[in-house]
Amino acid sequence: MAKKTKDKQKEGKPQKPKETTAEFISSMAAIFVTGLFIVTFNLQAFEIPSSSMEQTLLIGDRLFVDRTTAAPRTSWIDPVVPYSEVRRNDIVVFLSPKDAGLYVVKRIVGVPGDRLRLRNGVLYRNGVMVEEPYVRRTGSYDPYRDEFPSVPPPFDGVTSEWHVTLSSFVQGGELLVPEGRYFAMGDNRDVSYDSRYWGFIPRENIIGRPMFIFWSFDAPRSMYQETGMANRVKNFLYTAVRFFPDTRWGRTLTPVR
In which band, very low, low, confident or very high, does the pLDDT at 27 lie, cut at 50, 70 and 90? Answer: low
pTM for the predicted model, two decimal places: 0.81
One of 2.10.109.10, 3.90.550.10, 3.30.310.80, 3.40.800.10 is the CATH number of 45-216, namely: 2.10.109.10
Residue 226 CA to residue 242 CA, distance in Å, equals 18
Quote the DSSP letter at residue 31.
H
Spatial distance between the Cα atoms of 226 and 73, rounded to a whole number of angstroms: 36
Phi/psi-derived region of residue 253, left when phi > 0, alpha when psi is between -120 and 50, beta in every other case: left
Give the pLDDT confidence of 145-198 residue by residue, as tens digits.
999 999 999 989 999 999 999 999 999 999 999 999 999 999 999 999 999 999
Average pLDDT, the chain: 86
Can you give the pLDDT at residue 79?
A: 55
Residue 69: the pLDDT is: 77
How many CB atoms sit inside 10 A of residue 200's CB? Answer: 21
- The lowest-confidence range among 58-72, 113-127, 176-190, 193-207 is 58-72
The pLDDT of 77-87, averaged and rounded, is 69
Q: What are the respective helix, strand and coil percentages of the chain, to the nearest 5?
A: 30, 25, 45
pLDDT of residue 244: 94
